[in-house]
Amino acid sequence: MQNTPGFFARLREHRLLWNILLIAAIILAMAIVAHLLMQIGTRHGARRTVPDFSGVPLDEAQRLARRNDLKLQINDSLFVPAYEGGIVLDQLPEGGVEVKPGRTVYITINSFRQKMVPVPYVAGRSLRQAKNMLEIAGLGIDELIYRPDIATNYVLEEFCDGKPIQQNSRIEAEMGSGVTLHVGVEEGAASTIVPQVVGQPLAQAKGRLWELGFNIGRIDFDEGINLLNQKDARVYIQIPGAERSAELGSRVDLRLTLDDKKLEKHRVEAEKQALEAAEARKAEEQMRADSLARISLDEALSNPQQSPESPVQHVTNDDNEGFFD
């Protein structure tokens, strides 16, 4: 009795089909091996809970990170006098979040002292140029003091901690501190219009007010805002409001929030009030212009000029007759 060929034996007789199945088997095997290697390499399924590094000294935070198979990288530094130098102030991801082993945690630490920066010489420049130079150096404006001068909104003198800044000065100040600028203002040009800063972060709002000749008044923060999240807060109240006339050098008070809903509500109201103020100001300017035009017309009618053809009338005073005789 003749044996019947097996399945694989019969399959091998069909070379094309056999080669196709062989290639498919090799590809499947390679995919399985690659998947297993990837799971091993990425530690699939392995998770680590990120510790809370806030308030922990940097050395201790690094040891804690190594024990949890994590990496630490200093992303930024701030100077907060209430904390010791080297303390972790903030981190990303936050504590309690589950991540894969080997993940990098970015931290913000407290500097041991505030960085000192050279104070640039800005006298003789426009207020906007001076403001930009100071911001680039990491400084701000403590106060704008206006005094009579034909060079309106040009810096006349500059002071830091009461010391005058000269072109050859080598004075340094703490980053984030400010200088006092004496600025010129021509007679009759002492008023300006308050800009709209609702919706802006504090640094941007300050810069906008400074370059238009305003001082920064009282700054209030909603509850929950600190030095770490302050950059995310936005102005939602400003006093006086936008589009109102104010004296150069006057102060604008600001209040900031992290609440998007509160911000949007106040932004809509601020835009409405700014529009009303702009319309009222334009109407007042038009009334003033009409009043001046009416006064000029009345003066012209009360003192008509004589035409060249009309005879010149001499008014004589009998008491003075013969005075020049």
Helix (H, G, I), strand (E, B) or coil at 130: helix
Residues 197-237 have pLDDT tens digits of: 999 999 999 999 999 999 999 999 999 998 888 989 999 99
Per-residue pLDDT, averaged over 285-292, amounts to 83
Quick count: other Cβ atoms within 10 Å of Cβ 161?
A: 11
Q: Give the pLDDT confidence of 250-269 residue by residue, as tens digits.
A: 999 999 999 999 999 999 99
pLDDT at 37: 77
Burial of 136 (0-12, 13-18, 19+ CB in 10 A): exposed
Q: How many helices (H) and strands (E) are present in the chain, helices listed first?
A: 6, 16
The pair of structure tokens assigned to 223 is 């509850």
Residue 309 scores a pLDDT above 60: no
In percent, the amount of the chain with pLDDT more than 70 equals 88
User: How does residue 20 score in pLDDT terms, banded at 50, 70 and 90?
Assistant: confident
pLDDT at 172: 95
Task: Please report the pLDDT score of residue 45 as a whole number.
Answer: 56
The answer for residues whose C-beta is within 8 angstroms of residue 70's C-beta and 6 or more apart is 48, 50, 99, 101, 102, 103, 104, 105
Q: How far apart are CA 171 and CA 162, in angstroms?
A: 12
Residue that wins the pLDDT comparison between 221 and 5:
221
Read off the pLDDT of each residue in 314-319 and give the average, rounded to a whole number: 48
Strands (E), 96-174: 98-99, 104-110, 116-118, 140-148, 155-160, 163-164, 172-174
Report how far residue 198's alpha carbon sits from residue 12's, in angstroms, rounded to the nearest whole number.
Answer: 80
Sign of CA dihedral 276, 278, 284, 286: negative
Pick from 211, 210, 264, 273: which is nearest to 235 by CA? 264
**Residue of higher predicted confidence among 298 and 319:** 298
**Is pLDDT above 50 for 88?**
yes
pLDDT score at 166: 94
Q: Which residue, chain included where needed, has tokens 């238009």?
A: 212
**Mean pLDDT computed over every residue of the chain:** 87
Q: What value does the mean pLDDT take over residues 300-316?
A: 57
Q: How confident is the model at residue 77 (pLDDT cuts 50, 70, 90)?
A: confident
Q: Between these two residues, 324 and 99, which has the higher pLDDT value? A: 99
Q: Which residue has the higher pLDDT, 91 or 292?
A: 91
> What is the distance between the alpha carbons of residues 49 and 253, in angstroms, rounded to a whole number?
44
84 neighbors 116 (Cβ within 8 angstroms): no
| Euclidean distance between CA atoms 82 and 76, whole angstroms | 18
* Predicted local distance difference test score (pLDDT) of residue 302: 80
The DSSP string of 242-309 is TT-EEETT-EEEEEEES-HHHHHHHHHHHHHHHHHHHHHHHHHHHHHHHHHHHHHHHHHHHSPPPPTT
Residue at 223: amino acid letter: E
Give the separation between CA 244 and CA 154, rounded to whole angstroms: 23
- Say if residue 3's pLDDT is above 80: no
- Top pLDDT among 50 and 301 is at 50
**What is the share, in percent, of the chain residues with pLDDT greater than 90?**
60
What is the set of domains in the chain, with CATH numbers?
48-110 (3.30.10.20), 118-189 (3.30.10.20), 194-296 (3.30.10.20)
pLDDT top residue among 113 and 274: 274
Average pLDDT of span 157-186: 95
pTM greater than the 0.75 cutoff:
no
Query: Angle at CA 99, nearest 5°, toward 93 and 104?
Result: 55
How confident is the model over 301-322, as a mean pLDDT?
A: 53
- pLDDT per position as a tens digit, 130-158: 999 999 999 999 999 999 999 999 999 99
> What are the start-end ranges of the E strands in 25-82?
48-49, 71-78
Gyration radius from the chain CA atoms: 38
Place of tokens 């931290």: 107
